[in-house]
Amino acid sequence: MTRFVRPASAADAEAAAGLQAELHTHFEVHRPADIMRRTRRLTQNDYSAWRPAPLLIVEDETPIGFATYDLFQPSKWSAGELRISEFLITESSRGAGAGAALLAAVHEAASAAEVTVSAPNQADPDVFTTVERYIGSHVINFAYERARAGHWSSLRAEAEEKGWPAPRLDDLWHTELHDDPEPGHLYAEGEVPFILLPDGRVITARFRTIYVKEYLGHGPENRWTLALSGSELRTVGGLEIDHSWSRAENRPALAVAMDDGRLMVNYSYYAGNHFGSDSGTIDYIIDLAEATVSHRAHVTFEQD
């Protein structure tokens, strides 16, 4: 039996994808796009000195494990480090020293770069030689993922119990490949119960999470519309809704009648950027006769 460690190459794409899938299955995550994204990097040799190719541990020409990692160059602010992102020894090969051999190769890569291996994030230091499988929280934050899944599960149960429209979430970022996203790429879309009307109907908030490029920073941004009985309400002016609604963290409140016959509900709002944050509340005003929605913000900006 011959065992050795080497950098992965494009020829290893199929084996690497299988190892990634096994790791994701163990941690109960379903992210085919993440696997495809990493495999595409491998086939395109999209690596550099500080973002190296994964290391494969091979036994009799068969890959039995892998490690992905990032190198952070020494600077005047930091001594530099090697951070392991993912680590796996396939189930049939665990407990036979493969994890230790792969970890030793990682330490050799760190020594060659004149940096040290950082401690595993949110795991015991011996995770690589005992459990022999690991995903760093900078890759997948399991606490956040589980809390988010719990919010959606709770909302679905409450909606069913109370007769609200069923909430939905399509998380395309993890199921469809978005390499080098362009402005307008759709990451996610969904719908949540948003406002309870006095007549028992429910207005829902629909969101589309779009990739945007702007001076405040690139990344996903929610675009909102409101709907009643499946028909979209016309927005008068802009429509800002706190991001927490797209995480299913909130529940709809009962709208109250205004003097002019329109309906209004008030919700908290927060948004941050590179310069500071906006926080306060927003009134959402519904005109059922005109099938319109407008909002009135009570928000202040606080500079960082």
| pLDDT tens sequence across 123-177 | 999 999 999 999 999 899 999 889 999 999 999 999 999 999 999 999 898 888 8
Residue 108 has pLDDT above 90, yes or no: yes
- The better pLDDT of the pair 295, 49 is held by 295
Strands 263-272 and 256-257: antiparallel
For 45, 85, 155, 171, 302, the CA distances from 247, given in Å and listed in that order, are: 36, 26, 10, 11, 24
Q: In 3D, which of 131, 130, 103 has the Cα closest to residue 117?
A: 103
pLDDT digits (tens, 9 = 90+) for 19-42: 999 999 999 988 899 899 888 888
Q: In 3D, which of 112, 114, 139, 125 has the Cα closest to residue 23?
A: 139
Position 216: which residue type? Answer: L
pLDDT digits (tens, 9 = 90+) for 197-234: 999 999 999 999 998 877 666 778 899 999 999 999 99
CATH homologous superfamily of 3-135:
Gcn5-related N-acetyltransferase (GNAT) (3.40.630.30)
For residue 73, what pLDDT is reported? 85
CA 142 to CA 28: how far, in whole Å? 10
Domain limits, the chain: 3-135, 164-303
pLDDT digits (tens, 9 = 90+) for 249-292: 999 999 999 999 999 999 999 988 778 889 999 999 999 999 99
Strands 186-196 and 253-254: parallel
Span 115-119, mean pLDDT? 94
Burial letters 78-106, b for 16+ CB under 10 A, else e: eebbbbbbbbbbbeebbeeebbebbbebb
Against a cut of 0.75, is the pTM above it?
yes
- Res. 48 pLDDT band, cuts 50 70 90: confident
- 210 forms bridges with which residues in the sheet? 186, 221
- The better pLDDT of the pair 304, 263 is held by 263
- 269 forms bridges with which residues in the sheet? 280
